[in-house]
Amino acid sequence: MGYEFEVMPSGIDEKAIRSENPRKLVLMLAYAKAEALLPKIQEPAILITSDQVVLCDGKIHEEPQNEKEAREYLQNLGLSLVEAVTGVVATNTFAKKQVEAVDVCRIVFSEIPEEVIEEYIQSGEAFIPTPTFPDLVV
């Protein structure tokens, strides 16, 4: 299509931005990323920033800090309603306009077998931050 994309990490301290409301939180983070990246963009561009949080039984789930926390979280997934809340902010750097959107994906898991939990923890993937779309510049 003729578009060139560049991934630019924002470098913001996401832990410094907090809200009890997950929809508000993901937008606050996406806007903070845009604010941090805008000074680095010299040419007219579309900047897309986003963030995602996972809710388990209505509570924001933070990345586990150790194997015990990871195991407890994964064991509870099959017993809980899980929601992935994603916020996206698109910024037109030329027009200086921004639009935002929030999407919620509800996920139902079957009970996760212990051997799968153990394999996932040992792979290290249980400790990776919630997968999100990278921040893109078009």
- Are 74 and 112 contacting, i.e. CB atoms less than 8 angstroms apart? yes
51 among known catalytic residues: yes
d(CA 14, CA 117): 27
Between vectors from CA 53 to CA 21 and to CA 45, what angle results, nearest 5°?
100
Q: Which of 51, 57, 103, 135 is catalytic?
A: 51
Q: Write out the DSSP string of 5-50.
A: -EE------GGG---SSHHHHHHHHHHHHHHHHGGG--S--EEEEE
Separation in Å, CA 64 to CA 67, 72, 75, 80, 95 = 7, 9, 13, 17, 41
- Are 43 and 37 contacting, i.e. CB atoms less than 8 angstroms apart? no
Residues with catalytic annotation?
A: 51
